[in-house]
Structure 1
Amino acid sequence: MRKITLLFVLCLTVCVASAQQKKVLEPTPPMGWMTWNYFGDNINEKDLREMADAMVSSGMVAAGYNYLMIDDGWQGGRDNRNNIIADPKKFPSGIKALADYVHSKGIKLGIYSDAALLTCAGYTASLGFEEQDAKTFASWNVDYLKYDYCHAPKDSATAVDRYTKMANALRKSGREITFSICEWGQRKPWHWAAEAGGQLWRTTYDVRDKWKNLSNQENAEGILDILDINADLHAYAGPGRWNDPDMLVVGLYGKKGPSGDLGGIGMTDTEYQSQMSLWSIMAAPLIATNDVRNMNEATKRILLNKEVIAVNQDPLGKQAERKIKNDTWNVFVKPLQNGEYAVAILNRAGQAKNYSLNWADLGLKGTYEVRDLWAHKTVGKGQKWKGQVQSHETKLFRLKKI
């Protein structure tokens, strides 16, 4: 009997360990709100508590935006034991108090550092202090780390080494912390970032609040520029491993600051809606950056569309494949868990265009019921769709076979 009991305990221990190893962090793309595009490094605990309150009252949390992420500018250096500390003027109550506050609202807390001595904005970073900082973040009850790559060498080997060190440190910290790798896609992280310990990785330079880069400046990408990079990476995405084409700029309307640099003059609501459609069908993280405390109805309609969010959060975890690509039309197809499909049709042209599309041309044989996820209604049944698409509009459909 004693042997049987010991065998049972051993089997149970092995099973629990195996289950823990198999647990996937971020089985669907992370959703939340981040400080950078709206506040830059001018952040403080009062504004962030207000933003957490607004995320609840506006319906953002109920819609799935469950992270509040602090970007660069929170740091106050290190104490006499080399523990990283928050700026006492910006965060007089400390980061743990803020984490406790947002957790009480049903929101997780994200924080930021850099794989060098200084961050992009010149604040204290984590190179050489990976384990110490990871333990500090864990002690503050942080849930997410965005790890940037400013002031670091350009080669890939160093990047892999530095990101792996921080990922290992997070795993040893005693707390589950999502790891967001942010080296801007220059070292093709889709090939190595998951193995290095990341749950998501940036595929491009920073997004600007504009439709397209017309200046040929580096790091001045608009929505179309980022789309054309991220769209080709569908094979590398899946549960717990996401391509990250950077934050949503929906509702910023050309606000001065990081997203307003390098020609970021703002976009129309149609273009903002297109970003939401395209990021959703590409299974990208949905990280809002507008002032959630003061959203107009158009911004709320875009960010809170539960049918669109459901496409992004589909448990199958597939990033859409771009099936049609030319100067005017892009068409994306995303398989969904229940056997349905999401289809996005983007008109890249500067004027409205009529379009006719046979589902068979996308590899979808048979007859389908077509639901327009922005109109919230069924718009047809059959083997094709035809209609008008406005300039820079993205139609987003859900197809159910009948």
Structure 2
Amino acid sequence: MPCKQQKRIKMNTKQKARTAIHCLAIFLNLISITAHAQNAHYDAVLVATPPMGWMTWNYFGDKINEKDIKEMADAMVSSGMLDAGYHYLMIDDGWQGGRDSKNEMIPDPVKFPSGIKALAAYVHSKGIKLGVYSDAAQLTCGGYTASLNFEEQDAKTFASWDVDYLKYDYCGAPSDSITAKARYKKMADALHNSGREIVFGICEWGDRKPWLWAKNAGGQLWRISADIRDKWKTDKPWTDQRELHTIGAGVLDIVDVNADLAPFAGPGGWNDLDMLVIGLNGRKGPSGDLGGTGCSPTEYQSQMSLWSIMNAPLIATNDLRTMDDATKRILLNKEVIAINQDPLGKQAERKVKNRDWNVFMKPLKNGDYAVAILNRNSSEKAFSIDWKELGLNGSYTINDLWLKKDIGKGKKWAGKLQSHETKLFRLKKVS
């Protein structure tokens, strides 16, 4: 029975009750549909593809200042990073100066004498978006002022500064999942109601399996592992990924954590594998802890290949002002970046898994496929694969994205890979 009628109809008590229930159900359904549509639109607009940018932490730690941030923004433009798609510049822990008499968060006046709003204006003038950092506790990992119980106020402050991205850490917070979900949702709601679109990066290190709940809690990306160190892999075996907090996660360790999480990523929400260590070259600091003595050029290139095909946010953290050619070659490869930014938004699945080899495959929107072949072994090895093993029938043109050329055509591929090398191919079906 319709909720509105042009003619009055006499109804008994049961009919009136059924009508009221029916109208209430329609009303609640409309609210649900509207809210879902709004949230879906909000997420998709912000992160239809994985975010790309640069973050302060692994290079500067908490020793950051306004001058360095401006220089890095300039370097994002002059180096070609912005043109390649790296649109975010994120300030990690250490920018905070406490709260003023109104309990509003303020930046450290020595490090950031002009304030964050002025810095945002400078960064925006370069065509770059600005990110900041806080924590779901009273203090951050570095012991600075955080946002617990000030979520609404801080979100409005960030919005008033024209901030575009918030990384939200979890140091000092309870270990249970229920509290984590509640605290992250509270900040997500505050950001959503702040009057500005702000990307929300959930950073609780994968300990509470955020791929299962973080998007519903309002996150657009969520860290799936312990902090990355500047190394290929741990030198100790681990079974529970929480052990990586104490032994230090390398590139390969994080790949293994993320390899089975493809179903949980897509437009509007991404598995975050942490920052790219490419170009750090063993620098002392956060990424140099727990065995982070640096990777080989081959291993750095593998990180770029694997982060790209697995749809991880591409967040560099090296000194963009002094990048060498080897680092630029890796970070600025637009064909590789295109795999990461493909609008279909499918994270690669690991199709081959054994001690020596991994093969990942990802469908692309135009009908092509991306394939990554990783030699996990510590020595050069030969490998061959028939595309049928990946579920692909027919013949394909093979484009090597690091050589930037077609290297063959057929139903299979064979070749040698260096230790820890990843071949990254784009396959186009031969008609």
The unaligned stretches of length 5 or more in structure 2 are: 1-32, 238-242
Distance in structure 2 (CA, Å) of the matches to 1:356 and 1:332 = 14
1:136 paired with 2:164, answer no
SS at match of 1:334: strand
Instruction: State whether residues 224 and 271 of structure 2, in contact with CA within 8 Å, keep that contact through their aligned partners in structure 1.
Output: yes
Query: Mean alpha-carbon deviation: is it higher for 206-215 or for 49-58?
Result: 206-215
What displacement does 1:20 show? 4.9
1:3 aligns with: none
What displacement does 1:18 show? 8.7
What displacement does 1:218 show? 3.4
1:182 aligns with: 203
Distance in structure 1 (CA, Å) of the matches to 2:383 and 2:234 = 26
Question: Residue 57 of structure 1 is aligned with which of 78, 83, 97?
Answer: 78
Instruction: State whether residues 40 and 268 of structure 2, in contact with CA within 8 Å, keep that contact through their aligned partners in structure 1.
Output: no
Question: Residue 278 of structure 2 is aligned with which of 250, 256, 260?
Answer: 250
1:87 paired with 2:113, answer no
1:340 paired with 2:400, answer no
Question: Residue 61 of structure 2 is aligned with which of 40, 45, 51?
Answer: 40
Question: Residue 218 of structure 1 is aligned with which of 228, 233, 244?
Answer: 244
Distance in structure 1 (CA, Å) of the matches to 2:101 and 2:235 = 49
What displacement does 1:215 show? 3.9
RMSD: 1.3
SS at match of 1:229: helix
2:293 aligns with: 265
What displacement does 1:297 show? 0.4
SS at match of 2:261: helix
Question: Residue 322 of structure 1 is aligned with which of 327, 350, 353?
Answer: 350
Total equivalences in the alignment: 388
SS at match of 1:270: helix
The unaligned stretches of length 5 or more in structure 1 are: 1-14
Distance in structure 2 (CA, Å) of the matches to 1:76 and 1:283 = 35
Distance in structure 2 (CA, Å) of the matches to 1:230 and 1:253 = 24
Q: Taking every aligned residue pair, what percent have the same amino acid on both sides?
A: 73
1:152 paired with 2:180, answer no
1:294 aligns with: 322
1:399 aligns with: 427
> Residues 115 and 17 (structure 1 numbering): CA distance in 2 closer, same or farther, change over 3 Å?
closer
1:12 aligns with: none
Distance in structure 2 (CA, Å) of the matches to 1:68 and 1:275 = 20
What displacement does 1:149 show? 0.2
What displacement does 1:58 show? 0.3
The amino acid of 1:53's aligned partner reads D
1:367 aligns with: 395
Q: Deviations over 1:336-389 (max 9, x none)?
A: 000100000000101111111000001111110000000000011000000111
> Residues 228 and 21 (structure 1 numbering): CA distance in 2 closer, same or farther, change over 3 Å?
closer
- Larger gyration radius, structure 1 or structure 2: 2
> Residues 97 and 160 (structure 1 numbering): CA distance in 2 closer, same or farther, change over 3 Å?
same
Question: Residue 47 of structure 2 is aligned with which of 19, 26, 30?
Answer: 26
SS at match of 2:263: helix
> Residues 365 and 257 (structure 1 numbering): CA distance in 2 closer, same or farther, change over 3 Å?
same
Distance in structure 2 (CA, Å) of the matches to 1:133 and 1:232 = 35
Question: Residue 340 of structure 2 is aligned with which of 297, 312, 315?
Answer: 312
TM-score (norm 2): 0.89
Question: Residue 256 of structure 2 is aligned with which of 208, 228, 243?
Answer: 228
The amino acid of 2:145's aligned partner reads T
Distance in structure 2 (CA, Å) of the matches to 1:153 and 1:19 = 33
Distance in structure 2 (CA, Å) of the matches to 1:101 and 1:305 = 27
TM-score (norm 1): 0.95
Instruction: State whether residues 138 and 172 of structure 2, in contact with CA within 8 Å, keep that contact through their aligned partners in structure 1.
Output: yes
What displacement does 1:292 show? 0.3
What displacement does 1:19 show? 6.9
Distance in structure 2 (CA, Å) of the matches to 1:167 and 1:186 = 19
Distance in structure 2 (CA, Å) of the matches to 1:211 and 1:16 = 46
Distance in structure 1 (CA, Å) of the matches to 2:158 and 2:332 = 30
Alignment of 1:3-18 (within 5 A): none
SS at match of 1:193: coil
